[in-house]
Amino acid sequence: MFKKAMLCVAALTMVFGFALANNALAGDKGPETMILKTAKARKPVLFPHRNHQARLECKTCHESAGFPKATNEWTKKLGHGLCKACHKKHKADGASTKCSNCHKKGLK
């Protein structure tokens, strides 16, 4: 009886330990792509998160002053200050400042 219970605990520890490690790995990087919008949501933006992670350090965006923590906390000023300003600087690297590059049609 006691031995059986101990086996059970060991098995559970393994299962949950594995699940936790997996979550830490998957959860850390955030979504692959996401839709950013202001409270009014008139011109949402499709943001390829993973694509940017491949070439930029996390803190480039996440530690910048006024970085919005939720998709509906964006304003035009913040979005253009963070995203568009960098795209302007990195035109040579293929970044675009065309409206439709970020404001894709048909997003909700």
Q: Which residues bind ligand HEC (CB under 6 A)?
A: 28-30, 34, 36-38, 40-45, 47-49, 51-53, 55-56, 58, 60-62, 68-71, 74, 76, 79-80, 82-84, 86-87, 90, 93-95, 97-99, 101-103
**CA–CA dist 97, 89 (Å, integer):** 10
Ranges of beta strands (E only) in 11-78 are 34-36, 45-47
Q: Which of 4, 42 has the CB closer to ligand HEC?
A: 42
Q: Which of 2, 55 has the CB closer to ligand HEC?
A: 55
What are residue 29's phi and psi, to 5 degrees? -85, -10
